[in-house]
Amino acid sequence: MHVLVIGAAGMVGRKLLDRIAAEPGSLGGDIDRFTLVDVIEPVAPAVFASKSATKAADLSDPGVAEALIASRPDMIFHLAAIVSGEAEADFEKGYNVNLDGTRSLFEAIRLESKNAPYRPRVVFASSIAVFGTPFPDKIGDEFFTTPLTSYGTQKAISELLLSDYSRRGFFDGIGIRLPTICIRPGKPNKAASGFFSNILREPLVGQEAVLPVDENVRHWFASPRAAVGFFLHAATLDLEKVGARRNLSMPGLSALVGEEIAALRRVAGEKAVKLIRREPDATIQKIVAGWATDFDTTRATKLGFKAETAFDDIIKAHIDDELGGKIPG
């Protein structure tokens, strides 16, 4: 099997590769080749470095998608995107990367299939940002997509393309609508949702964090560990069971910011909670107000997708995976 990971240097991409390295059979067959791509050249896990080709490239640049698909990868993980806040701030860049790059990839696969039979599995990272207000109490799979951000619009259009290209038989695609991933390791990024992770990650290591919204803000979460599990399960799932509607909202946990903080208090104590500084930000508040807060994910759950059900478990997963199993100090 030849596996192509686009966005391999990102957080989810790196963790996906690490999981595959730790669980070689997780994609349902032997892997003899990896192609790892991102705008910054990715680093392959040591265990399969000898059979990996790494490349720094922008999928939206002319010719890049065609070059990647010319080698006919069997499994394609498309994780590359610029995040919500950056896509809102830079309209042209958002559409160029998040939409045009995706369309270029899909078109490259379609054109390659004209040369000889070729139908790879494509696992696409979408987002709950495809939904916009007004919301029902719980968003089900029948709810329409009316995004209120450029990022959400780019993902929604890509979802439609994925379903149509799959319907036409050009590839076998599935779109994974990710909850907000929390706790994201590393440094804060430009995502409008970044504070959800910041108010937990920084205090856990004794650093101050800024909270730009009210504690009564509710949102939909899953851990990085769960996100990797979503992609691995999607890679091996019988997509005949998914049917024509190829984009799925993933399971997650609906929680208030105040409930996040309460979980931090239970796991790390009051000392950590006191490191959260309230600093309201009207721009972030406006963006977050248009986001979905709760989902009915019966369809995805029946198909075998799983996520955490308590915020304490999300925090503990971060401590285990990023902090060596214990809180510093």
Is 165 a known active-site residue?
no
The CB-side HSE value for 157 (13 A sphere, CA atoms) comes to: 15
With 0.85 as the threshold, say if the pTM is over it.
Answer: yes
Helix or strand run (H / E) with residue 277: strand 276-278
User: Which pair of structure tokens corresponds to residue 308?
Assistant: 């955490």
> By the 8 A CB rule, do 190 and 135 touch?
no
Summarised one tens digit per residue, pLDDT across range 13-53 is 999 999 999 998 999 999 999 999 999 999 999 999 999 99
User: Which pair of structure tokens corresponds to residue 151?
Assistant: 């990022």
213 vs 326: CA distance, rounded Å: 29
* Dihedral over Cα of 169, 16, 55, 186: its sign: positive
Pairing of strands 172-178, 75-78: unpaired
Return the exposure string of 11-45: e unless at least 16 CB atoms fall within 10 Å of the residue's CB, then b: bbbbbbbebbeeeeebbeeebeebbbbbbeebebb
Among 95, 118, 151, 165, the active-site one is 151
The Cα angle at residue 23 between residues 19 and 28, in degrees rounded to 5: 110
| Distance from chain centroid for Cα 163 | 18
The tens place of each residue's pLDDT in the chain, 329 residues long, gives 999 999 999 999 999 999 999 998 999 999 999 999 999 999 999 999 999 999 999 999 999 999 999 999 999 999 999 988 899 899 999 999 999 999 999 999 999 999 899 999 999 999 999 999 899 989 998 899 999 889 999 999 999 999 999 999 999 999 999 999 999 998 877 677 899 999 999 999 999 999 999 999 999 999 999 999 999 999 999 999 999 999 999 999 999 999 999 999 999 999 999 999 999 999 889 888 878 899 999 999 999 999 999 999 999 999 999 999 999 87
**DSSP three-state, residue 194:** helix
Instruction: For residue 256, list its beta bridge partners.
Output: 218
Residue 304 makes CB contacts below 8 A (sequence gap 6+) with 233, 237
> By the 8 A CB rule, do 12 and 231 touch?
yes
The yes/no answer on whether domain 2-179+223-249 falls in CATH 2.30.30.90 is no
Alpha helices by DSSP H, the chain:
11-22, 64-69, 84-89, 91-94, 101-113, 150-167, 194-204, 224-236, 257-268, 270-273, 282-289, 298-302, 311-322
